[in-house]
């Protein structure tokens, strides 16, 4: 209860005749800490932009894979596979690839961020000569919930991106799909 403690200290100072003194919280006392709070919001926006960019790459890649396999769709359709089975085949393939890719990304991300949680990045040389009231070492802070949500989101986007073109391609007649270049 930092605001409550601040108010209590302020009352003690006022009652004790310490008129020239005031109580401030540690976040109020440092401009640099306020900057970090603003920077955290900016980093969130920047991360969101990269996340959306990665989503468009996932969607584009998955859709191109399906469109490039139109002849394969025609072949399996000519062999008797129904449209629903073709869609299921592409969905399961996209699911398997998405699970492997997302798991690889999570493992790689954690392999980088967990050591950085302990070791940190020494920024003291970059901030030399500045009056900073915090450590010059920045530590990573991996979060389990964020990691899990990113994993689920990547898998869901990949599977949805495969469904739309697969449904369209499954409706193409086998003869037309076999003629596709």
Residue 132 vs residue 161, higher pLDDT: 161
Q: What is the pLDDT of residue 107?
A: 95
pLDDT at residue 46 greater than cutoff 80: yes
SS3 of residue 18 by DSSP: coil
pLDDT at residue 2 greater than cutoff 80: no
Mean pLDDT over all residues of the chain? Answer: 82
pLDDT at residue 67 greater than cutoff 80: no
CB atoms within 10 A of CB 158: 24
Angle at 93 between CA 90 and CA 94, to 5 degrees: 85
């Amino acid at each position: 209860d930092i605001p409550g403690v601040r108010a209590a200290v302020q009352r003690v100072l006022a009652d004790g005749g310490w008129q020239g003194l005031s109580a401030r919280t540690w976040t109020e006392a440092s401009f640099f800490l306020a900057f970090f709070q603003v920077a955290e919001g900016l980093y969130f926006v920047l991360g969101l932009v990269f996340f959306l960019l990665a989503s468009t790459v996932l969607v584009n890649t998955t859709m191109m894979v399906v469109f490039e396999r139109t002849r394969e769709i025609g072949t399996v359709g000519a062999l008797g596979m129904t449209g629903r089975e073709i869609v299921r085949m592409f969905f399961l393939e996209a699911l398997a690839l998405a699970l492997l890719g997302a798991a690889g990304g999570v493992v790689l991300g954690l392999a980088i961020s967990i050591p950085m949680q302990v070791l940190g990045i020494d920024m003291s040389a970059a901030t030399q000569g500045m009056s900073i009231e915090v450590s010059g070492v920045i530590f990573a802070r991996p979060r389990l919930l964020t990691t899990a949500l990113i994993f689920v989101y990547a898998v869901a986007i990949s599977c949805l991106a495969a469904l739309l073109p697969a449904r369209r391609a499954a409706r193409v007649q086998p003869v037309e799909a076999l003629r596709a270049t």
